[in-house]
Amino acid sequence: MTNPNYPLLQILEIKKKRVKDAEKVVQEKKRALKEEEEKLKAKRRERDAVKDHKRDKMNQLRDEMDHGTTSDKIQQMKRYLEVVEEKLEIEQKKVEDQKEQVKIAKKKVKMAEEALRERRSEVDKIKEHRTLWEKEAKLEEDAAIAKAMDEIGQIVHEKQRKK
């Protein structure tokens, strides 16, 4: 019994290669997402450091006001607090921008995973087709063998009958 070559074997190999490529893309997108999340954590730490600094300066201003100090010093501290507030707004904007980058990276991971699922589905369909094709090829081969055996049997029978 010969095993004929599957006609879509090259296509199956190409589809398998595409699955491997899609898996690499998913891994790369996940790595990029992780990097974006790490950047977000860093931005949050920077923002929180500015918040803590602002809180400390507010407490310092309250202490100065409670202990009585010159109005020049109080005005200077208020101006500095305004600068710190601006810096806090900038840091908050950086955090928001980085959140958007994380969201975009998550979308890219989701899209890559969907593409991978599609590629795997294509491979599964071809494997399923191959299984059916092999069954049909075996049935055809068995039928051809049975026909050949019938013909051989008839020839042998005719020879014996002629003797």
Instruction: Fill in the DSSP letter of residue 7.
Output: T
Q: What is the per-residue pLDDT for 161?
A: 84
Predicted confidence band at 4 (pLDDT cuts at 50, 70, 90)? low
Average pLDDT over residues 92-115: 96
Give the SS3 label for residue 1: coil
Burial of 99 (0-12, 13-18, 19+ CB in 10 A): middle
- Residue 3, pLDDT > 70, answer no
Q: Residue written as tokens 């996940």?
A: 30
Average pLDDT over residues 137-158: 91
- Residue 2, pLDDT > 60, answer no
Predicted confidence band at 1 (pLDDT cuts at 50, 70, 90)? very low
Q: Which domains does the chain have, with CATH numbers?
A: 9-162 (1.10.287.1700)
- pLDDT (tens digit per residue) in 30-82: 999 999 999 999 999 999 999 999 999 899 888 888 777 778 888 888 899 99
Give the SS3 label for residue 50: helix
Q: What gap in Å lies between CA 110 and CA 103, rounded to an integer?
A: 11
- pLDDT (tens digit per residue) in 109-127: 999 999 999 999 999 999 9
Q: What is the per-residue pLDDT for 8?
A: 87
